[in-house]
C-alpha cells in the first residue's frame, strides 16, 4: 500500500479519490501522504468498518457505485484530482474508459488491475496486447505499466498477476477525428483482427479512403496506431 501511495506521487494540497476502498488499508496509506482523500465504497456491509478506520485519519467516505456516481457532486468544481484504485477485472476497463471520457476533473490515475488488463491499457503498436482498448486510452491519456504486483501479497492468494498502471490525461486528443466515429471504426477493425482491413471494414470504409489516408488495405487493425486510425476516420464518410 505504501508503494502504491508513493507511485501515485501525491502529497499535501493534492486531491485524491479512491474507488473500492474496502477496509481502508490503501486509504490510510494515501492519507499518510498528507493528501485529501475521498474514499468511494459500494459494499454497505463494509462501510461502517471503513468509516471507523479512515475517518479518524481525515478521509471522507462516499457510498456509491463508481459507474453510476454523480462525479461532479463528489469532486466539486475547479479542482484537479488523482484517482487511485485497486480495480477488479470485470469493471476495470469500462470504468476507466468512462472516467477518461466523462470526468475531466480526474487528471491522473494509478490503478492496480489484472496483468492482462493493464497490458492492454498501456499497449502500443507491435505489442501482442495492443487492441481497441489501447487505441481508446491513447486518444485521451498517456498510459504505462509502472509496477508489477505478485499474487503472494494478497490473502487469499489469487491465480493471476497484477500490475500498476499510470494514466495521465492529455490536454487534448492527439487526433482531430470525432471520437464516436473513430471508436466505432476501431471496434469494427479489431472485431476481426485476423482479417485485412479491406475485409474487416467492408461496407464501412470505402476502398478509396485507404488510399486517401495512406493506409494499405492489406494491413490489419493491430498495425495501425492512433494517428493512422484518425486519418482513416477523417477520410471515411460520416
For residue 210, what are the domain limits? 179-234
Which of these three, 149, 169, 189, is where a domain ends? 169
Q: Do 147 and 194 lie in a common domain?
A: no
Residue 55 has pLDDT above 80, yes or no: yes
The grid coordinates of residue 212 equal 486517401
Please, what is the average pLDDT of the chain?
95
Q: Do 102 and 219 lie in a common domain?
A: no
Q: Do 69 and 102 lie in a common domain?
A: yes
Q: Do 215 and 118 lie in a common domain?
A: no
Instruction: Supply the CATH number for residue 207's domain.
Output: 1.10.8.100
Predicted pLDDT of residue 151:
80
Q: What is the pTM of this model?
A: 0.93
Mean of the pLDDT values across residues 187-195? 93
Which of the four pLDDT bands, split at 50, 70 and 90, describes residue 90?
confident
Is residue 8 included in any domain, yes or no? yes
Which of these three, 114, 138, 169, is where a domain ends? 169
**Angle ∠(175,181,184) on CA atoms, nearest 5:** 115
**Does residue 167 have a cis bond before it (omega within 30 degrees)?**
no
Which of these three, 169, 196, 226, is where a domain ends? 169
Q: Do 211 and 129 lie in a common domain?
A: no
Q: Do 139 and 116 lie in a common domain?
A: yes
Is residue 174 included in any domain, yes or no? no
Q: Do 113 and 146 lie in a common domain?
A: yes
How much of the chain exceeds pLDDT 90, in percent?
Answer: 89
Q: Is the Cβ–Cβ distance between 67 and 98 less than 8 Å?
A: yes
**Sign of the alpha-carbon dihedral angle for 119, 123, 128, 129:** positive
Instruction: Supply the CATH number for residue 14's domain.
Output: 3.40.50.150
Q: Do 130 and 197 lie in a common domain?
A: no
Q: Is the Cβ–Cβ distance between 16 and 8 less than 8 Å?
A: yes
* Total count of domains within the chain: 2
Q: Do 147 and 226 lie in a common domain?
A: no
Which of the four pLDDT bands, split at 50, 70 and 90, describes residue 219?
very high
Residues present in the chain in total: 238
pLDDT one-digit tens code per residue, 8-42: 999 999 999 999 999 999 999 999 999 999 999 99
Residue 238 has pLDDT above 80, yes or no: no
Mean of the pLDDT values across residues 76-104? 95
Q: Do 7 and 81 lie in a common domain?
A: yes
Predicted pLDDT of residue 168:
98
pLDDT one-digit tens code per residue, 100-155: 999 999 999 999 999 999 999 999 999 999 999 999 999 999 999 999 988 877 77
Predicted pLDDT of residue 35:
98
Q: Do 39 and 61 lie in a common domain?
A: yes
Mean of the pLDDT values across residues 173-199? 95
User: Environment class of residue 17 by beta-carbon count within 10 Å: exposed (0-12), middle (13-18) or buried (19+)?
Assistant: buried
pLDDT one-digit tens code per residue, 192-214: 888 999 999 999 999 999 999 99
Q: Do 79 and 138 lie in a common domain?
A: yes
Amino acid at each position: 500500500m505504501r508503494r502504491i501511495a508513493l507511485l501515485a506521487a501525491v502529497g499535501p494540497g493534492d486531491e485524491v479519490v479512491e474507488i473500492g476502498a474496502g477496509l481502508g488499508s490503501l486509504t490510510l496509506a494515501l492519507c499518510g501522504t498528507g493528501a485529501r482523500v475521498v474514499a468511494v465504497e459500494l459494499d454497505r456491509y463494509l462501510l461502517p468498518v471503513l468509516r471507523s478506520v479512515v475517518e479518524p485519519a481525515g478521509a471522507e467516505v462516499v457510498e456509491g457505485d463508481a459507474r453510476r456516481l454523480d462525479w461532479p457532486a463528489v469532486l466539486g468544481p475547479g479542482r484537479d484530482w488523482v484517482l487511485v484504485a485497486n480495480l477488479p477485472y470485470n469493471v476495470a476497463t469500462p470504468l476507466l474508459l468512462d472516467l477518461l471520457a466523462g470526468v475531466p476533473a480526474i487528471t491522473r490515475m494509478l490503478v492496480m488491475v489484472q496483468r492482462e488488463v493493464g497490458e492492454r491499457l498501456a499497449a502500443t503498436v507491435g505489442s501482442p496486447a495492443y487492441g481497441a482498448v489501447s487505441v481508446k486510452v491513447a486518444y485521451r491519456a498517456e498510459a504505462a505499466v509502472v509496477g508489477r504486483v505478485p499474487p503472494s501479497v494478497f490473502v487469499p492468494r489469487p491465480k493471476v498477476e497484477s500490475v500498476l498502471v499510470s494514466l495521465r490525461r492529455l490536454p487534448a486528443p492527439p487526433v482531430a477525428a470525432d471520437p464516436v466515429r473513430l471508436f466505432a471504426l476501431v471496434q469494427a477493425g479489431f472485431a476481426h483482427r485476423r482479417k485485412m482491413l479491406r475485409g474487416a471494414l467492408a461496407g464501412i470504409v470505402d476502398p478509396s479512403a485507404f488510399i486517401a489516408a495512406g493506409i494499405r488495405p492489406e494491413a490489419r487493425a493491430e498495425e495501425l496506431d492512433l494517428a493512422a486510425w484518425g486519418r482513416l476516420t477523417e477520410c471515411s464518410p460520416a
